[in-house]
Structure 1
């Protein structure tokens, strides 16, 4: 009988986000595989994805952290949880989980510790305390983790320059399954019909939670300008807090000539239908690592516009247009360019985007890389 490698994942939370969705896909890839057994510890709650993991038979522990003031209590709970089910490999995701998981793991004598870096910025954004945590991770990177897995080449370079131990770092890009995550003609027509989108309208959409880093306000500015120059444009925003209850966003949209053409759908479970209902996908972030939403849109064969953040340019290839982050006029012109293409040209661009995923960024490739790490870790002499 095969003895599985027991992997415990420590992550800040399990709401819908790029890291969280990738963790779900990584674990799902090992369903029925006797070589690997996964557990998940969330520093906060079980969120949206916790129940989905539990439905797969994955044990999920939520430590209930509500603020940084809970850090000492959360650390104690984390150490107890790791002690109760001591893993062969401890895999941590993002700064807080890296630091707390690394400290707790080392305290318990666990040496096969993987850290995860999911963004391509270091000092920008966050509170003073959060920046202090990032700097602490840079110092601790020489002692706590065995390996540091970066989601993007740009993420590795930025963090190495900020003091992370380059010798422990490597890149494993996000992976996607283009065979199962694919365009749905049925989903497209269903959703567009429900939303009352005219058949001849061009829908430019985005996917991702509302946050300063995602820069939805620049998207709305560019959309406003594009609408004034081209007819028949609609704009779909999908993600947490992207609803009319978001007063800052609602006020900005209300000031445009056609607020009814902004479709704020909030957080959805039918992501592939939402992407299929879009004619063009737009990533408008100010910062990213390896943008998961962009990869998913490419899987769905959507022609894309993206800001030049993280590894977005490398990921997209010839599947769309790249503009500088925060450059509203450039984003506007990219929207107008897409509006001026005919259906055949858009379809060809979307096909190139999907082909790039199939050739370079499949989930099988990412899983193989992680499995190689797990196997190498188990061969270490401790």
Structure 2
């Protein structure tokens, strides 16, 4: 039997996020493929997804980094882990993992190093130390990685302009499995019944953790404006820290005078059912690369509203409406426009969204591109 390609992934953490979910999908796609053997090193903890990977027989190591000040100790632990289980290909995900993984890999003589870029805003906030890490990555991009994989065309352009080595960069978009991640009428009925949503109501929902980059503040403001002009609107928020225990979010929702119209579900394991319970999906972020949540909503067949961030416009195509990031009146108007469509129009828009995923952004296509990259890397001398 042919020896498998051993790939070690270095990632900051394994909580639920876009990069983490795609890493999980990529590894699961090779579950029954003897050509590829994966292991994962988290710089921090095993998070939510570590146990799921381990259940599938994937070795997962957590290095316990608490902050960037732990970087020297984490780097030493990472180097020991890579020396113990030396991979054929070292794949790093996002800035901190790129830098520490690249340095450790090169120190051990590993040449087949892949970096990952997951956002389209090189200097989008963060502490001075974090910005220094990003700038260091730009300088090191000429020496540490063999290839740099960007999740979006916009991510490639932004980082190339910021000093990354364009000659080493390429784009592999996220991929989705429209057969596995699909609409569930049973899930829709169950969840809407549990939440007490009236049958004639329109539910506009969003998916993603609470953070400044996701801009839930603008979503709530736009929802409040839309509610004043259209009856029967409900708003579902799914993701980490999207609960009544979040004081900033709860306070803003209470100020709308209709807190009962906001359904805060927190982090869930039944994401496809949550999306199925929605009538319209809304991505309201200020920054994105190639938004996983939008692709998942499209796979379920939802008509979508998205802010014009990263490659969201490219991904959505004719499957919904695009508005400027941070433009609350435009976002509110898009919600109103969706509320004015009849069921057949919403269904047709959602069908176009799902078809776009099936035609252009399947998981199989993304996995094929990564496999081609792995095979090309193996042709290099170690």
TM-score, normalisation: structure 2: 1.00
Distance 2:303 2:238 in 1: 17
Measure how far apart 1:10 and its partner are: 0.1
| Aligned residue pair count | 382
Quote the offset at 1:123 in angstroms.
1.0
Corresponding residue of 1:103: 103
The equivalent of 1:51 in structure 2 is 51
**Matches of residues 49-128 of structure 1 in structure 2 within 5 Å?**
49-128=49-128
CA RMSD of aligned residues (A): 0.4
Structure 1 residue 109 displacement after superposition: 0.3
2:159 matched residue in structure 1: 159
CA offsets per residue over residues 80-116 of structure 1, 9 Å max, x none?
Answer: 0000000000000000000000000000000000000
Aligned to 2:201: 201
Question: Secondary structure at 1:228's aligned position in 2?
Answer: helix
Structure 1 residue 263 corresponds to structure 2 residue 266: no
Structure 2: gaps spanning 5 or more residues: none
Alpha-carbon separation, structure 1, partners of 2:342 and 2:362: 29
Pairs within 5 Å for 1:109-258: 109-258=109-258
Equivalent in the alignment of 1:307: 307
Runs of 4+ more than 2 Å apart: none
Cα offset, 1:68, TM superposition: 1.1
Distance 2:236 2:12 in 1: 29
1:2 to partner: Cα distance: 1.4
Distance in structure 1 (CA, Å) of the matches to 2:311 and 2:210: 21
Residue aligned with 2:237, SS: strand
Shift of 1:381: 2.5
In the TM superposition, residue 364 of structure 1 has moved relative to its aligned partner by 0.4
Q: Distance in 2 between matches of 1:231 and 1:206?
A: 19
After TM superposition, give the deviation of residue 257 of structure 1 in Å: 2.4
Q: Deviations over 1:222-258 (max 9, x none)?
A: 0000000000000000000000011001000001121
**Inter-partner Cα distance in structure 2 for 1:122 and 1:166:** 14
Structure-2 residue corresponding to 1:8: 8
Counterpart Cα distance in 2 of 1:273 and 1:8: 33
**TM-score of the pair, normalised by structure 1:** 1.00
Equivalent in the alignment of 1:282:
282
SS at match of 2:219: helix
Deviation at 1:69, TM superposition (A): 1.4
Distance 2:348 2:258 in 1: 30
**Secondary structure in structure 2 of the residue aligned to 1:241:** coil
Matches within 5 A, 1:345-356: 345-356=345-356
In the alignment, the residues of structure 1 paired with residue 101 and residue 269 of structure 2 have an alpha-carbon distance, to the nearest angstrom, of 30
